[in-house]
Structure 1
């Protein structure tokens, strides 16, 4: 059977090219997602500040609620600190030297009075310099009132040994004398300032805790054994960079989540495309299978032949596609770096695991598709085989129809969910609902397209010979038309719903934020705003605004779902500066140990005023806070509003994100902010930070763009295959007197009909979930966003469809009719 299958593949190379391309591209996409996921666990950047440390100990920032499975966890947004007592515990390990490190925001003020912000800048205790190792290039180690600058920072500030520099940490700038200039090997990603031990401990703000502990002279296993039960992370090798750089740690978490999410979409789309392509390939060989059945081949032999042929093609395509996935993953990494999602120097981790997994998924999807496609040609009666092969059967199986209509109804039901479930989750549900609708329409496509064609065909038949021929073709071959319409519909619907779900969410957030921030002015800063600023504002009211995150866990049956949710910290004085849409309670009671919940989340969690709610702060520390208010403006403020003091205490910066001010003297505000380099006073609307939403939006566009690229390839692939398979039909038409131009016009008419049906169905598939999402978020049934994107999606699909059909038609007509009529199918 293998020999026969291999001979068939070699003899019918053109017939298997479509399936080969679909499997190749699908496997490459899945492999790329797998590499990104693995990099979320094993990738990183070269270690710098901890390069000389054998082991780095940090507090565990992975939140795992009790009762959850291995996948029930969330990565804390902030790196928590460690108890200083662990230093002595580690030092007791034989051969280990424990070096505590303090890390806190610190920036040098330049000669122009503005902070030097060329790269992230942090202060450290001098003892931790040995971990890089930093060595003194000039001068001496710092004493009280002194600072050591790294060589790059000293050059940028123009300050040598003996010079005075102003350094701003969490307060107004303080003048320090430069006692030395230190240097480490390689180019640093961060600027470093070193203070004496006493000064660093004071500036860090918590004498009983340290940021991390570097270990010299002891293996990781010994340290892990010594700290068992202390809730710490022991890192060695490349993992040390995640402990050193917060953006690397966040990148690893983002990549793992993103690859898992879009990897699922990629697998679903790949299976969908491969199945569609293989079904078309098998359908085009109906005469061949009919002949085999007529000469005595059993149904099992037909199925085995198709299965082995598919295996041969899928293994070759899968191996090449897995290797191609390495290049795709590098391209995705570069795209993510260009929009600021991952650091430019973040290196991917590439191993055989995701490549082998992608290969198995590709081969498995192909075999499953082959089994499904082979059922009908292998089961027809040998007596009816040749007659059946001549005319396409129009009926669709009852099971397929039942599943298709069931999914369609399920998709319609899912479109209503975003009306009650707002935010990013509601937008994601819109995309899922659209996908379910597309799959449902795909299964019912021949019946649905057949009904549409019966309405349209009479009008086509009146438009001349070409129209009559096109009408007859689509009436008799609705399945072929449905196979061409489906991928175009998928491309249009998927592109439109993904884009406009994000723009509608962003517009809803902006709209609610503008209504909710009633302050006259907002103070923002380069590193943040020192917490002391809000207390120095006179002539008006002010409140701190601390943007943060919380982690929640909810149990449904035996499943524990862990989520990271946006949150904000406010002072009790915020009631005159923000409008949360309070439903019950009052935010005047918002003090440390209390929390306000969105009304929808409070209802979901069954929490009322006075109840205790449990969650985790941004640094992974567990919280049990009393509910003092519920509110409705959750798009602007998230599901949790904490006291500013609680929110600030669980961030590494320990500063406010902004300060909201109402009815204060602008001149006095400018005078106040001038004492803090980097602070500025702006109007409330311009000051809102949209960077997180913009980054998420761009991230989705890149990932969806890659999937749509694959869909576009499959669309062109399918249309070219279905058109090229009609060479004998074109030859017969020409032999009975139909002109070449009439055939070209016939195919152009069919192409326009294909594109038109795809545009209508794709638009409807996107319009229903988007309309429901828009009603739930903004109250209007129209999604927000530029209409040019929708028109561009239609134009792109139309161009792709028309060009693919036109090119393959002209190529098919190049042969002489007398030669083409005898072409082997």
Structure 2
């Protein structure tokens, strides 16, 4: 059987090219996802601050609500602090040479010109933690007094100061002068990593007492670096099991040091897993459709085999072995290409901010072998599906089949398609009643349902459409094209459907998010009633709002952008989500319009929260109730509801007191200060005391990093998947056109010119692309129009039209070029030779 299969593959190379390409691309995509998933567990960036530490202990950033399964968790946006008491506990563990406490807090140097030196994040630390890099003094000595500081060599050079000089440092307050008593430089591996990849941060070192004071949390630490005599990671995990901490060693130390690496490792595995699962499903679909077309074109060959005594089992085995031969070759090549695809995806993710630019992938044989096995398995599954009909058909019936399509689709299929179209149409109205990210997501889901429904009824819709179009096609070529599309509407629908899917899905994915973003900015502009807004490079010290309130007649409100994690019971599972929240002062009503429905913002103090009206209704909460969630640093919250409001797009579902929100962020500062009725001269005088602050007229919408990242990830994922779908479309068009060689030869033998055949196929291609563009636009227009009306009040979605035109152009080029190239190749042989070849 293997010999026969190999001979068949060699004899029908052109017929197996489509399946080969589909399997190769699918395997490459799955291998890339496997590499990304493995990198989520083992990848990262080289640590700098903790390069000399064997183990690093930090607060646990994973929030797992009670009652949830293993996948019910969320990653905290801020690094939680840990108590100083853990230092002694860790030091007492056998094998620990030293447990080194570390305080980390924002601290920037103000240059001689009064401007903040902020070309990279700048942090202050206690001098004891310098050994963790290690930082070694190249000049001077360690800081002892409260007015002494040690700068890293890069920062000292940038500030133009050496030992004995003075610098002004701003850390949560007005700049204070410090005497530079030393200059330090990273040594060993930390220095090498900094030189090779670029230092990610600038460091200032203070005495232990001063660092504890500047951090604002004298009884808490950012991390504890552990120097050991051997591998005692598991021992430390056992000792600290009840302290809600994370014990990191090896490459994981960078996740403890850098917030972006920590979040990247948490989400990359999930993204790659879900993306990889989607890729596997699409691969099976594409390979199955390609193989089905290949097998269908060989139906007479299989009928002949059945007529000479081949059993259905032998036919299935032959198709399976042929597919295995092709899939093994394609899978091996595709697995290797997966390395290049993973690098491309990593670069794309880095460009959109999902992973750091210096995040390194971990590549091992495991994902490559797994992708190869998955590719072969998907191909075999597709072969089994494709072989069912030719293996079971009666030989006499098969030999007598005419090469024409079935006249219509089944009634059950039409009914299911109609039901899905009705459900999708109803779902498109959800954004009229439910705003927020959920409403935008429902538009995408409704579009997908509409596309599936339209796919099921596609032959009927396309058949009616071509009967309307056909009379408009003029000339000999137009007449022939009209006859073809009318009599073979099912074949036309097979080409129109994936193009329609690509157009509709891409357009809705893009414009739903741009419309949502525009709605957020619009509502933010309407909700902020302040005259002026104070912002800063690294935040605004909390004392600024109080200083502005000292201006006669002025109102000032602290605005703290933050996030919260919520959990909701859904059947037997628990849904965990992280979303934007804001901290405001009780005086916010003077500078902010939340469109309060019940309660009053005057009652917004520590221990209280205001909820969006939709969130309160969804969770059955009202004023006076208690609501539970988790702060940005993963600490649990149990707050009293004092108000509900409607402007959730601008302020999220939770508005906390500024003090509560500020306490659970590492910076401990305001994101902005909203000012109203303040004398401009007096306001500028207050701001001038804090270098790096500026006064503007408006405030930007909250940076919904999670939602923006998800949007960009969707674009990348949709782009890759649609690229794979494009390969499938091209395969289908090329193979179906190539299968019409005898038809072209017959047309030429009865007097049709070569150019007329080419024009006929060009007309068919334009009909195909035109129908796909029309249906794809219509299937996207309804959900986007209702989304725009519900979110912005106008029927047109936000965003440039160039994306829509680009999608249409891409689909047009794909369809026209695929058909044109395969047509010209099919016409190269002489008609008299082609008419005599077997099917």
Partner SS for 1:275: helix
Distance across 1 between alignment mates of 2:524 and 2:353: 24
1:177 matched to 2:152? The reply is no
Report the 3-state secondary structure (helix = DSSP H, G, I; strand = E; otherwise coil) of the residue aligned with 1:712: helix
What corresponds to 1:542 in structure 2?
A: 556
Q: Establish whether residue 342 from structure 1 lines up as the match of residue 343 from structure 2.
A: no
Q: 2:428 aligns with which of 399, 405, 415?
A: 415
User: Per-residue displacement from partner, 1:630-688 (whole Å, max 9, x unpaired)?
Assistant: 01111110011110000000000000111111111122221111111110001115686
1:371 counterpart residue number: 384
Is 1:763 the counterpart of 2:783? The answer is: no
What's 2:542 paired with?
A: 531
* Partners of 2:374 and 2:463 in 1: CA distance: 33
Deviation per CA, 1:379-409: give whole Å up to 9, x if none: 3322221221533333434555455444444
Question: Which position in structure 2 is the counterpart of 1:813?
Answer: 827
Structure 1 residue aligned with 2:268: 255
Match of residue 666 from structure 1: 680
Contact 2:73 2:576 in 1 (8 A): yes
Q: Does 1:513 align with 2:524?
A: yes
Change (3 A) 1:673 1:254: farther
| Secondary structure, counterpart of 1:684 in structure 2 | coil
Q: Tell me the secondary structure at the aligned position of residue 437 of structure 2.
A: helix
Task: Determine the structure 1 residue equivalent to 2:129.
Answer: 128
| Corresponding position of 1:227 | 240
**Alignment check: 8 A CA contact 1:522 1:683 kept:** yes
CA displacement at 1:570 relative to structure 2: 0.5
2:524 and 2:701 in contact (8 A); partners too: no
Q: 2:579·2:706 contact (CA, 8 Å) conserved in 1? A: no
How many residues are aligned here? 823
> How big is the shift at 1:603?
0.5
Residues 574-593 of structure 1: matches in 2 within 5 Å?
A: 574-593=588-607
Aligned to 2:158: 156
Q: What is the alpha-carbon distance in structure 1 between the residues aligned to residue 354 and residue 99 of structure 2?
A: 34
Please name the residue that 2:140 is paired with.
139
1:437 to 450, 465, 473: 450
- The Cα shift of 1:257 comes to 4.2
Gaps of 5+ in 1: none
Q: Which runs of 5+ in 2 are unaligned?
A: none
Q: Which residue of 2 aligns with 1:744?
A: 758
Map residues 276-295 of structure 1 onto 2, 5 A cutoff. 276-295=289-308
Measure, in 1, the Cα distance between the counterparts of 2:84 and 2:704. 37
Measured after TM superposition, the shift of residue 432 of structure 1 is 2.7
| Aligned 8 A contact 1:489 1:758 in 2 | yes
Q: Give, in angstroms, the shift of residue 691 of structure 1.
A: 7.1
C-alpha displacement of 1:326: 1.6
Contact residue 280 and residue 483 of structure 1 kept, 8 A: no
Mapped partners of 2:734, 2:814: distance in 1: 11
Residue 611 of structure 1 is matched in structure 2 by 625
The residue that corresponds to 1:213 in the other structure is 224
After TM superposition, where is structure 1 displaced by more than 6 Å over at least 4 residues in a row? 690-693
SS in 2 for 1:467: helix
1:15 aligns to 2:15 (yes or no): yes
CA–CA distance in 2 between the matches of 1:543 and 1:254?
34
Question: Does the Cα contact within 8 Å between 1:394 and 1:478 map onto a contact in 2?
Answer: no
Cross-structure match for 1:100? 101
Check conservation: 2:564, 2:629, Cα contact below 8 A: yes
C-alpha separation in 2, matches of 1:255 and 1:575: 41
Give the whole-Å Cα distance in 1 for the aligned partners of 2:708 and 2:72. 28
Verify: 1:200 aligned to 2:227, yes or no: no
Kept in 1: contact 2:503–2:807 (CA 8 A):
yes
Q: Summarize the Cα distance change of 1:92–1:335 in structure 2 as closer, same or farther, 3 Å threshold.
A: same
1:437 Cα deviation (Å)?
A: 2.6
Could you tell me how far 1:322 is from its partner in structure 2?
Answer: 2.4
In the alignment, the residues of structure 2 paired with residue 398 and residue 365 of structure 1 have an alpha-carbon distance, to the nearest angstrom, of 30
Partners of 1:281 and 1:433 in 2: how far apart?
A: 33
Of stretches 746-755 and 797-806 in structure 1, the one that deviates more from structure 2 is 797-806
Q: 1:110 is matched with which residue? A: 111
Query: Is 1:724–2:722 an aligned residue pair?
Result: no
Counterpart pick for 2:257 among 244, 269, 278? 244
Distance of 2:254 and 2:364 partners within structure 1: 20
Aligned match of 2:720? 706
Which residue matches 1:46?
46
> Is the Cα–Cα contact under 8 Å of residues 19 and 291 in structure 2 kept in the other structure?
yes
CA deviation profile, 1:566-587 (whole Å, cap 9, x unmatched): 1011000111211111110011
* Aligned residue number for residue 393 of structure 2: 380
Q: Give the secondary-structure state (helix, strand or coil) at the position aligned to 1:563.
A: strand
Find the aligned partners of 2:326 and 2:504 in 1 and give their Cα distance.
30
TM score, norm. by length of structure 1: 0.96
After TM superposition, the structure 1 stretch with the greater mean CA deviation from structure 2, 263-272 or 503-512, is 263-272
Contact 1:506 1:693 in 2 (8 A): no
Residue 474 in structure 1 maps to residue 485 in structure 2: yes
Match of 1:787 among 801, 804, 810: 801
* Conserved? CA contact 2:580–2:704, under 8 Å: no
In structure 1, distance between residues paired with 2:832 and 2:820: 22
Does structure 2 retain, via aligned residues, the 8 Å contact 1:287–1:390?
no
SS at match of 2:401: helix
Deviation at 1:329, TM superposition (A): 1.4
Deviates more, 1:155-164 or 1:185-194: 185-194
Question: What secondary structure, in the 3-state scheme, does the structure 2 residue paired with 1:390 have?
Answer: coil
Match of 2:323 in 1: 310
Contact 1:276/1:483 (CA < 8 Å) preserved in 2? Answer: no
CA-atom RMSD, angstroms? Answer: 2.0
Q: Secondary structure at the match of 1:628?
A: strand
Distance in structure 2 (CA, Å) of the matches to 1:279 and 1:671: 76
Change (3 A) 1:622 1:688: closer
Measured in 2, the distance between the counterparts of 1:259 and 1:694 equals 18
Rounded to whole Å, the distance in 2 between the matches of 1:727 and 1:708 is: 29
Q: Which deviates the most, 36-45 or 122-131? A: 36-45
